[in-house]
Homo-oligomer: A and B are copies of this chain.
Amino acid sequence: MAKVVSIKEAAEMFKDNMTVMVSGFWGIGAPEKLLDALVETGVQGLTGISISTALVDRGIGKLVASRQLKKAIVSYIGRNTATMEQYEAGDIEVEFVPQGTLAERVRAGGFGLGGILTPTGVGTELEKGKQRLTIDGKDYLLELALKADVALIKAHKADRSGNLVYRKAARNTNPLMAAAARITIVQADEIVETGMIDPDMVMTPGIFVDYIVQG
């Protein structure tokens, strides 16, 4: 059952060496306040899972700039100068995952699947260390589920039961990551009473949400 907490209370849940999923596409749909709070705690050795490392001052990119990530599981690092520098210097480990595979691995983690078979990456260097299976004459790679200790989610609207609504392109990985972590913390632009969101219009059901902070 979701609980509305302060940013300070949320920040107390951040610990060294956690795996953190962070939503957002170039930072759009990322919970910036929660990320600022995470930067402020100074916790270290994090593994970050996100579409990309965004930009130095946006989304998960802030955690690279603050040197809190020891590892990034992402599809792209190119626009974050901090990631590029740390990657070259060997200060951050990067696991490159095709964007669609990343989305499915996160969804699998949240939905109790061990993994999925995707044609993406067959015959490329990403195949290294992975099982290739042929089904009806087509080749697929077995890609394994991803889970996290904490998911940091950005919603437009949340009710007090944790039901979430997103706006436009800010949805991206939010609904997938919300289900895939032990603790899911949502930053909502607006927090409304339970019953104020039409149950047909809910994009992430409250069952996936643990904590809500006012954005």
Contact = CB atoms under 8 A, between A and B. Distances in A.
A168 interface: yes
Contacts of A114: 117-119, 133, 135, 138, 140
A114 B167 CA distance: 31
A135 B118 contact: no
A199 B171 CA distance: 12
A106 to B, nearest CB: 14
Secondary structure of the A side of the interface?
Answer: mixed
A140 B144 CA distance: 12
Contacts of A196: none
* A: interface residue count bin: 20 to 34
Contacts of A121: none
A12 interface: no
Copies in the assembly, this chain: 2
Nearest to A156: B200
A200 to B, nearest CB: 6
Nearest to A203: B200
Interface in A87-142: 104, 108, 112-119, 133, 135, 138, 140, 142
Contacts of A113: 104, 116-118, 140
A166 interface: yes
A102 to B, nearest CB: 14
Contact of A200 (B133, B145, B166): B166
B112 A116 contact: no
Given A113-B140, A115-B140, A166-B200, 7 more contacts: A113-B118, A114-B133, A114-B135, A115-B116, A116-B117, A135-B144, A201-B201
28 contacts: A104-B113, A108-B116, A108-B117, A112-B118, A113-B116, A113-B117, A113-B118, A113-B140, A114-B117, A114-B118, A114-B119, A114-B133, A114-B135, A114-B138, A115-B116, A115-B117, A115-B140, A116-B116, A116-B117, A133-B142, A135-B144, A135-B145, A165-B200, A166-B200, A167-B200, A168-B199, A168-B200, A201-B201
